Structure 1
Amino acid sequence: MAMLSRLRHYTLCSLALVPLAGPALAGDMSAWSAPEGTAARLVAGGSQDGALMGGVEIRLPPGLKTYWRYPGDSGVPPHFDWSGSRNVEAVEVLWPAPTRFDDGGSFSIGYKHDVVLPLRITPKDRAQPVELKLNLDFAVCGKICQPANAALDLALPPGGAATAYPALKQALASVPHPATLGAQGETGIATAELHQGADGAVLRIVTHVDHAEAADLFVEGPGEDWALPLPSRETGADGRTVFVLPVEGVPSGVDVATARLRFTLVDGERAIEVDAPLSAR
C-alpha cells in the first residue's frame, strides 16, 4: 500500500523536522535535521568495490519505532528521494535485520531503537566528489503514528571518509547476508513450498536455526503491489523450525508458484536473505 494511503489509517500528528539549507556540508556526517527528539542525518563511510559507503541515521526517542522496507500489516515504509544529488549514478539502501512488533490486532516490521540504514553510493565519476542530497519521508510511531520529513545533504570526497563511523560498521554487520535456497549452514532455509490446505493455499518454509524460540521470517514479493502476511512459527515433525503463511496479498493474475520471492530469516545475531522462486516439488 502506498505511503500516503497507509497514513490515512492513523491519527496523525505533525512532527517538525527542520530541513537544512545551503550547500552540502563536507565532513563525516551532516547536522541532525532537528536539535532534539526524532531526527535524521547522513553519515559518510569508506569505499567498497568502487562504491562509496554511507548511511542514514535515524534518532528515535524511547518507546518509538520506525519501519523496514516492507512494514507489515500496519506500518509505513520510508521513502528516499535522491534527485537533488550530484555525481550520483545510483544509491542502494542496505537494510539491517528488522524486528516484528505486535501492534494489537496487527503486526508491523521495523526498528525500535536508533538505527543506521547503510547506503551503497555509485558515483558517475569516481575521481570527483559526490554531493549527496536526500529528502526523506518516514513514520515514527508509538501509540499514534507521526509522519516525519528530513532534508539532508553531505559532500563525500573521492574514496569516501578516512575514518569509519562505528554505528555504520555495526549496521553493516547486521545486514542479512545473501544465501541460496537449500544451502547448508548454521542459519538457512531448507525448502520453501506451496501447499494446499483445508483453508486454502499456504507457503511452508522449513529452516535450520539456532534460536528457534526467537527466530523470525519475512517474505516479500517481487513488487510493491505484493502484501504477503507475516508467517506463524511452528516446530516440524523432525524438530526443525517451520514458518507458515497463507497465500494472501498476491496481485491478481500472478502465480505465486512461479514468482521470485525474497525471504529474510533472522536468527539471533545472524540473518540471511534468499532471493528465489519456491522449491520444486
Structure 2
Amino acid sequence: MPRIGVVRFLDYPSLPTSAPEDYPKIIKSGISPDGQHPKSPPIRGPDGIVTLLHRLGQPEAIDRLLDFEKTHEFKLRVHTDEKDWYKDVYVKRIGCNVEIGFINLDGVWAAHGVRYRIEKEPNSPYRYGKWTPVSTADISRSEHWGGCQDWVRKQGGQIALAILIHRHYERKVDIRWTGLSHEDWEAIQIHLLEQRMHLGEEKERRRKEYDAKLAEYQATDPEADIWMDFADLYREFLSCRADCGETRPKLRCGKCKFTRYCSLECQTEDWKYHKTYCGTEDPIPEDCKKYLKDIL
C-alpha cells in the first residue's frame, strides 16, 4: 500500500514557491519513503537545509545561511547518535561557497557530500541567490569531487530526503555563524533542547493512547495490533490528498470514490497528480474499517 509523494512547498516570505530551480524553498509536505510522483517538483539539497532550519524554528539561521554578504561563515551539524544506520548531517559555508553532506561513523566528512556556489543574479527579484551546483563526492569510498550539474543536484536531493525522512529536525543540532555570541548560541541550544523535550513528551502521550486502545481492542480481536497499524496508514490516505492539513475531508473523487478532498480547489490542484493512479489504490480491508469509524 505505498503512497507516492507529491512535494509541495511553503510560500515563505523570503523563499517564494515561484522561484526557479536552484533557489532554496521550504518543503511543506509530500516527502515519501515510497518515492515521489513523476510529476512532483524535484527535491534539491538546499531545500532540505532550509526546511530543517524552518522546522527547528530558526528563521534567523535561515537568513544567516543564505545571506553570505551579511554573514561570512555558517556551520551546522545534526548529531544523530545512531550506531548502525543514520549519519550526521553537516553544512559548511564560507563566503558564497557551501558544502553539505554526511559524516559517517568513522568521522569521514563528505560521505557523501555536495558543493554549491551561491550566486546573486543582476536585478533578481529574489532576496537570496541561487545555489549553483559545483561538485559531489563520497570521500569514504575514495570518490573525489566532480560530476555534472544534474548529478550534483540529484545527490543533494538525496541529502534532503534523508533529513526529512529520518526526521533530523528532532535530533540534537549545533548551529553557529560569524558574529554569534556565546550567550545567543546558548539561547538557541536551550530553545532546541526544549523543542526536543516537547516532541519526546508528545511521542510518549501518543504511545500511551495507542497502548490503551490496543488493550481495549485486543480483548475481542487478537490481531488488533496489525489492523491498528494499517488504520494509521489509511488515515494518511483518507486525509485531504492535496496535503492541505485537513484530516477529515468529505469530498470524494467522482471517479475512484476513494481519494478525498476538503474542497474543489484542493481537488483541482491535485488532479494532475491523482489522475496517474486514480482507481488503482486498494480499498480498505473490512477488518480494518472498525478502527477508522471516526473518519469513515
TM tier, smaller: under 0.3
Higher relative contact order (CA 8 A, sep 6+): 1
- In terms of fraction of residues, the more helix-rich structure is 2
- In terms of fraction of residues, the more strand-rich structure is 1
The two structures have a TM-score, normalised by structure 2, of: 0.25
Question: Which of the two has higher C-alpha Rg?
Answer: 2
The two structures have a TM-score, normalised by structure 1, of: 0.26
